[in-house]
């Protein structure tokens, strides 16, 4: 069994390694022909003129990702607290399958929901075309809810009962014990859920391409269209060739580095808080 477990772990590590080798082996040669600084900091994307600037797509990815986190994180964490410490068993038995079902809905269905419901609502309420950073953020917030809720709920439920009981013994209320003793103890698991949610949001493509407007320009207004890194690759990879194709693979390298940096940052913050 030990050998079987080791083999399973090696398969996971090997998969990550193969993906890394593929990305860097095919993406880094692009930087021999095109300046990395110009690629990352350029604001114009014109492949027909061999102009490749992905800064608008980088900013757009961060806009919709952190907009989704801003909207989805409070709802997800509070829902996890409700399911773990406040809701009755019948309510939890109903909510857990509902959250799991939300996680199983295909991205294209979310995209249709955004096109039919969210885009017209934003268009009538705020003007414009409706396809915007705001709609993309709302849709992504809904999509990352299951990841945040399930991870945070598991972390909160795993906190030893002595934390809660000790807080009650010192005179705290039920709500005070949950929010001041249990939730802080579950912080590493909750942060892990947020990191997974960010990874889910920043890597989403199908739903975003249907509601974001896909304009390769610097986003300046949440009611304007935007193009993310993943959407840029998906839209143009089918017909790209030569330097253009290499630039799209290099875009994947940049996205991969961004995701790694976010993971390392949150891991560092978690370790610092645990040590304190």
Query: What one-character DSSP code corresponds to residue 213?
Result: B
Spell out, as residue ranges, where the chain has pLDDT lower than 70.
270, 272-276
Do the Cβ atoms of 196 and 147 come closer than 8 Å? yes
Closest to 43 measured CA to CA, from 60, 25, 23 = 60
Instruction: Supply the pLDDT for residue 274.
Output: 58
Query: What one-character DSSP code corresponds to residue 116?
Result: I
Do the Cβ atoms of 231 and 205 come closer than 8 Å? yes
Do the Cβ atoms of 134 and 67 come closer than 8 Å? yes
Instruction: Supply the pLDDT for residue 234.
Output: 87
Tell me the H-state helices in 89-225: 89-104, 107-113, 119-126, 133-157, 161-169, 174-177, 183-185, 187-202, 206-211
Distances in Å between the Cα of 11 and the Cα atoms of 2, 30, 99, 190 are: 14, 30, 29, 27
Do the Cβ atoms of 103 and 191 come closer than 8 Å? no
- DSSP-based three-state secondary structure for 235: helix
Angle at 93 between CA 92 and CA 99, to 5 degrees: 75
Q: Kindly calculate the radius of gyration of the chain based on its CA atoms and give it in whole angstroms.
A: 22
What is the spatial distance between Cα 206 and Cα 211, in angstroms, rounded to a whole number? Answer: 9
Q: Provide long-range contacts, Cβ within 8 A and 24+ apart, for 101-104.
A: 102/142, 102/145, 102/146, 103/146, 103/147, 103/150
Q: For 157-175, write each residue's pLDDT tens digit.
A: 999 989 898 998 988 898 9
What is the spatial distance between Cα 159 and Cα 154, in angstroms, rounded to a whole number? Answer: 9
The Cβ of residue 132 has, within 10 Å, a number of other Cβ atoms equal to 27
- DSSP-based three-state secondary structure for 195: helix
Q: For 57-87, write each residue's pLDDT tens digit.
A: 999 999 999 999 999 999 999 999 999 999 8
Q: Provide long-range contacts, Cβ within 8 A and 24+ apart, for 233-240.
A: 233/205, 234/205, 234/206, 234/209, 235/209, 236/47, 240/47
Candidate CATH numbers 1.10.1040.10, 1.10.3720.10, 2.120.10.30, 2.40.30.10; the one for domain 21-275: 1.10.3720.10
């Amino acid at each position: 069994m030990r050998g079987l477990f080791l083999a399973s772990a090696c398969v996971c590590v090997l998969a990550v390694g193969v993906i890394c080798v593929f990305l860097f082996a095919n993406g880094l040669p692009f930087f021999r022909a095109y300046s990395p600084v110009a690629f990352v900091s350029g604001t114009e994307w014109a492949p027909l003129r061999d102009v490749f600037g992905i800064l608008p797509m980088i900013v757009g990815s961060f806009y919709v990702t952190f907009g989704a986190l801003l909207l989805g994180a409070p709802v997800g964490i509070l829902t996890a607290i409700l399911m773990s410490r406040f809701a009755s068993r019948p309510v939890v038995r109903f909510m857990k399958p509902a959250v799991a079902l939300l996680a199983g809905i295909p991205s294209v269905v979310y995209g249709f929901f955004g096109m039919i419901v969210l885009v017209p609502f934003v268009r009538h309420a705020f003007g414009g075309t409706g396809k915007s950073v705001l709609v993309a953020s709302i849709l992504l917030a809904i999509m990352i809810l299951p990841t945040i809720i399930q991870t945070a709920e598991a972390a909160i439920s795993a906190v030893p009962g002595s934390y809660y009981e000790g807080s009650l013994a010192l005179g705290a209320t039920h709500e005070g014990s949950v929010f001041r003793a249990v939730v802080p103890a579950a912080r590493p698991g909750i942060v892990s859920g947020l990191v997974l949610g960010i990874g889910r949001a920043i890597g989403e493509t199908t739903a975003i391409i249907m509601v974001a407007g896909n304009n390769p320009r610097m986003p300046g207004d949440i009611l304007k269209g935007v193009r993310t890194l993943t959407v840029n690759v998906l839209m143009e990879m089918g017909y790209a060739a030569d330097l253009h194709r290499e630039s799209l693979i290099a875009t994947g390298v940049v996205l991969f580095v961004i995701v790694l940096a976010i993971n390392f940052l949150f891991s560092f913050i978690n370790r610092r808080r645990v040590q304190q």
